Amino acid sequence: MINREHDGLARRGIGMTSQRTRERLIQRLYEEGLSNAHVLEVIRRTPRHLFVDEALAHRAYEDTALPIGHNQTISQPYMVGRMTELLLAAGPLDKVLEIGTGSGYQTAVLAQLVERVFSVERIQGLQDRAKERLLELELRNVVFRWGDGWEGWPALAPYNGIIVTAAASTVPQALLDQLAPGGRLVIPVGSGVEQQLLLIVREEHGFSRHVLDAVRFVPLLNGPLA
């Protein structure tokens, strides 16, 4: 279900970039295989140009990753949609943990599709900007933590879904520990150019593990950074 109360978001988006450019992006994502109508609708209404520097705003509706400073990137819309679809594929989720807030774009998409989002970022400057953007868009069901994503957010565990938007060298044990029964973890794993998107589901006994697409993310680093 799309949360209907987020009207501020639709208002803010209107007129700031051409609606046609956005429709083209949605059409392209659909052709590339995204199929969850709720997810596509949320991407259509989320003003991605507010999540990048003004100088790059004209490229915000291209299906590419873009720089957001601090050597980080805003994820490609296709990948945001793909990971969100994987997370939601077994039904609606109430508590979702996100590792790697970055610009807050993926956070904003999630916030419109699940009950509550808990988002961890190690670079405080990025987190501060992301917080401002989500407030501006009246997305209030998100809480932020400055910290090391390798540790997850144990105090508020367990989570029905966990999404990691940076590539981990191995699957962090803390994240497995913090998955609720039936919970789903979507995470890119690998180093350099050899990365794969994994879906890990907490079953009654142990975990099932599905190896999906070859992907390219910035690395999941160690420890918080001011």
Beta bridge partners of 142: 117
Q: How far is the CB of 200 from ligand SAH (least distance, A)?
A: 18
Residue facing ligand SAH at closest CB distance? 102
Specify the residue, 46 or 103, whose C-beta has the smaller distance to ligand SAH: 103
- Residues that bind ligand SAH in the complex, under the rule CB under 6 A: 68, 72-75, 99-100, 102-103, 105-106, 120-123, 126, 148-150, 165-166, 218, 220-221
Closest to ligand SAH by CB, 67 vs 181, is 67
H helix and E strand count, the chain: 7, 9
One-character DSSP codes across 120-165:
EESBHHHHHHHHHHHHHTT--SEEEEES-GGG--GGG--EEEEEE-
Instruction: Give least dist CB 222 to ligand SAH, A.
Output: 6
In the complex with ligand SAH, the residue whose CB is nearer, 126 or 157, is 126
Angle of helix 19-31 relative to helix 37-45, nearest 10 degrees, comes to 150
| Residue closer to ligand SAH (CB basis): 50 or 120 | 120
The distance of closest approach from Cβ of residue 211 to ligand SAH in the complex, given in angstroms and rounded to an integer, is 21
Asked whether the beta carbons of 197 and 212 are under 8 A apart, the reply is: yes
- CA Rg, the chain, in Å? 16
- Judged by beta carbon, residue 201 or residue 218, the one nearer ligand SAH is 218
Cβ atoms of 196 and 212 closer than 8 Å: yes
Q: Which of 35, 75, 119, 191 is catalytic?
A: 75
> Which residue has tokens 């109360």?
5
Closest CA to 100 of 146, 31, 154, 45: 146
Nearest distance from C-beta of residue 151 to ligand SAH, angstroms: 8
75 is catalytic: yes
Minimum distance of ligand SAH from residue 1's CB (angstroms)? 22
Q: What is the DSSP string of 176-199?
A: HHTEEEEEEEEEEEEETTEEEEEE
The catalytic residue positions are 75
